[in-house]
Amino acid sequence: MRKLAIAASLLGAAALSLPAMAADDLTAILKDPKQWGIQTGDYANTRYSKLNEITKENVKKLQVAWTFSTGVLRGHEGSPLVIGDIMYVHTPFPNNVFALDLNDNGRIIWTYQPKQDPSVIPVMCCDTVNRGLAYADGLIILHQADTTVVALDAKTGQKKWSVVNGDPKKGETNTATVLPVKDKIIVGISGGEFGVRGSVTAYSTKDGKLVWRGYSMGPDSDTLIDPVKTTELGKPVGENSSIKTWEGDQWKTGGGTTWGWYSYDPKLDLVYYGSGNPSTWNPKQRPGDNKWSMTVWARNPDTGAVKWVYQMTPHDEWDYDGINEMILTDQKIDGKEQPLLTHFDRNGFGYTLNRETGALLVAEKYDPAVNWATKVDMDKDSKTYGRPLVVAKYSTEQNGEDVNSQGICPAALGTKDQQPAAYSPETELFYVPTNHVCMDYEPFKVSYTAGQPYVGATLSMFPAPNSHGGMGNFIAWDGKKGKIVWSNKEQFSVWSGALATAGGVVFYGTLEGYLKAVDAKTGKELYKFKTPSGIIGNVMTYEHKGKQYVAILSGVGGWAGIGLAAGLANPTDGLGAVGGYAALSSYTALGGQLTVFALPSS
């Protein structure tokens, strides 16, 4: 590894403010709206800030305060961190890290530049993205594309420890951030399109030693499921609940990867996350429910023990990964205050569950175009309770034959992919970036070879028909009622994470490159500014020297922008996204820039 770090004595590092060791607890940092300590903003994944200098009345006055070029031209997901007077910025592969001095015009304090084998790039599914850094105990934690987890000293950039979480030669890579919880770092794995077996792993924050690992499928000893204590919809899952739903040893290459977001409830002491698609994409090659892919998980962070699970899309036929964020709120539903978990799944249904028990409370479509299932069965006395009722026409497994199933909504990239929603406790609404995209899906037989693509389907994508002609909406969602409150049409999918603030403003970015600000109650557009490249990053905010700033990474890419990012032209490349988003090249080009906004000084 090559690291450019300047000695603290030359930096004047004493003038920089990192939290003192006594106050170095991440929980305290997450309660301070002036800082942004993890990608999700808080453990509950609300992406809500109590900062209120920027309001719906004055947001139209926003100006660019400063910018920073990352020097990398691929998709920029995630967001910066701000700890004290230092901002930490990451890049896509090769996953460089910059520490910037907010007291000195963003001067570079230190840079970490890992040397990774470029052979990892073709093993990454959908661009070379990375969803960002996390802070814990004076360390900046980076999970590299090659699955190396690195702990860097937050002041100097010195590497304190590193550990390898997977093997790219088998198709195991990483695109996600990590979640520090107590004395552990929780990490996932990517590679569902290469037939890897998904897992979640806890490492010691102190030295990187492995504490536990829980797989998405396999025997109970591997999944850390207790056949009696672990429940789904209130019932014990039973012995080896995963293996019984796979044919033979298919679970060993079963996918269910964990490349999304993680949240944590300190009171219940549970970590929540979702698992992805089963491998292969050809459903007839893997009969059964394929548990526990496509599942919401509640695990104990100290042991990995599973309290409850809920599989949203049994026997997935459409690549509707379940990895999207779990947003934790406490609200009244059914007449009583409940600890809730809200999840906007790729399959087009917005779910609300009791996060303590796993009880299913709401499951409704959050895009009217969704047609692959009529509804989720909410009848507790039904044999199909909790399962989606699939429309035969849109199944991709047609009478045992490989046929091109047409007009399926949503497309494989879902009504929402990983781009995280936000929640405002003031409006009690969720703000959701969505895709308004459908697909044709044709499976084909594929054989497993370690490290080689294990997809088994050809896709084409297009805007949802008979609607506004665009490929996206930005919506406000009532999670208790399962209803859209308002919806803003967008020409392309909204692939940016949202931010809600106490100023009554919600921010998001567009694939053309606009940062937009809208009224949290009405959705009225209040401000927009076009950054140098398409936005697939997540909006964040912080305060420095009494002033509120809003920051966003721009740099088109990700699954939707893979054609631009990787220079692909065949319409079916990028798992169908290249053709679907061909028009994007008329509106933006590659980039890699941080843009920071603020109100003008009075």
pLDDT score of 33 more than 80: yes
The single residue of 319, 345, 367, 440 carrying the catalytic annotation is: 319
pLDDT score of 400 more than 80: no
Confidence of residue 334 (pLDDT cuts 50, 70, 90): confident
**What is each CA distance from 568 to 54, 142, 468, 577, in whole angstroms?**
40, 29, 27, 10
Give dist(CA 128, CA 59) in Å, integer: 33
Q: What percent of the chain has pLDDT over 90?
A: 89
Annotated binding residues for Ca(2+), as ranges? 193, 277, 319
Give dist(CA 30, CA 47) in Å, integer: 11
Token pair listed for 357: 């028990």
CB 349 within 8 A of CB 370: yes
CB 142 within 8 A of CB 89: no
pLDDT of residue 256: 98
Torsion, Cα 66 548 513 553, to 10 degrees, reads 70
pLDDT in tens, 142-184: 999 999 999 999 999 999 999 999 999 999 999 999 999 999 9
pLDDT in tens, 401-450: 778 999 999 999 999 999 999 999 999 999 999 999 999 999 999 999 99
Helix (H) or strand (E) holding 462: strand 457-463
pLDDT of residue 277: 97
Confidence of residue 35 (pLDDT cuts 50, 70, 90): very high
Give dist(CA 593, CA 535) in Å, integer: 10
pLDDT score of 258 more than 60: yes
CATH class held by domain 2-9+51-598: mainly beta
pLDDT of residue 16: 59
First vs last Cα of the chain: how many Å apart? Answer: 46
Token pair listed for 399: 């009478």
Helix (H) or strand (E) holding 10: helix 8-11
218: left (phi over 0), alpha (psi -120 to 50) or beta: left
**What is each CA distance from 173 to 99, 122, 144, 195, 263, in whole angstroms?**
25, 10, 8, 12, 21
CA proximity to 523, closest of 490, 496, 555, 553: 490
CB 16 within 8 A of CB 103: yes
pLDDT of residue 425: 98
379 is catalytic: no
Give dist(CA 421, CA 586) in Å, integer: 27
Residue type, 449: T
pLDDT score of 24 more than 90: no
Give dist(CA 120, CA 115) in Å, integer: 12
pLDDT of residue 18: 56
pLDDT in tens, 262-317: 999 999 999 999 999 999 999 999 999 999 999 999 999 999 999 999 999 999 99
pLDDT score of 15 more than 80: no
Q: What pairing do the DSSP bridges indicate for beta strands 210-215 and 199-204?
A: antiparallel
Confidence of residue 136 (pLDDT cuts 50, 70, 90): very high
CA proximity to 128, closest of 119, 136, 140, 137: 119
pLDDT in tens, 469-524: 899 999 999 999 999 999 999 999 999 999 999 999 999 999 999 999 999 999 99
Annotated binding residues, as ranges? 77, 131, 175, 193, 257, 277, 319
pLDDT score of 135 more than 50: yes
CB 47 within 8 A of CB 498: yes
Burial 519-547 (b: 16+ CB within 10 A, else e): bbbebeebbebbbbbbbbbbbbbbbbeee
Give dist(CA 305, CA 223) in Å, integer: 8
pLDDT of residue 3: 41
Please name the residue that has the structure tokens 């300047």: 6
Q: Is the pTM of this model over 0.85?
A: yes
334: left (phi over 0), alpha (psi -120 to 50) or beta: left
Mean of pLDDT over the chain: 94
DSSP string, 344-404: E-TTSEEEEEETTT--EEEEEESSTT--SEEEE---TTSTTTTSEEE-GGG-S-BTTB---
Q: What values do phi and psi take at 279, rounded to 5? A: -100, 140
CB 274 within 8 A of CB 295: yes
pLDDT of residue 17: 57
pLDDT of residue 23: 35
Annotated binding residues for pyrroloquinoline quinone, as ranges? 77, 131, 175, 257
DSSP string, 18-43: ---GGG--HHHHHT-TT-B-STTSST
pLDDT score of 541 more than 70: yes
Give dist(CA 155, CA 15) in Å, integer: 11
Length of the chain equals: 602
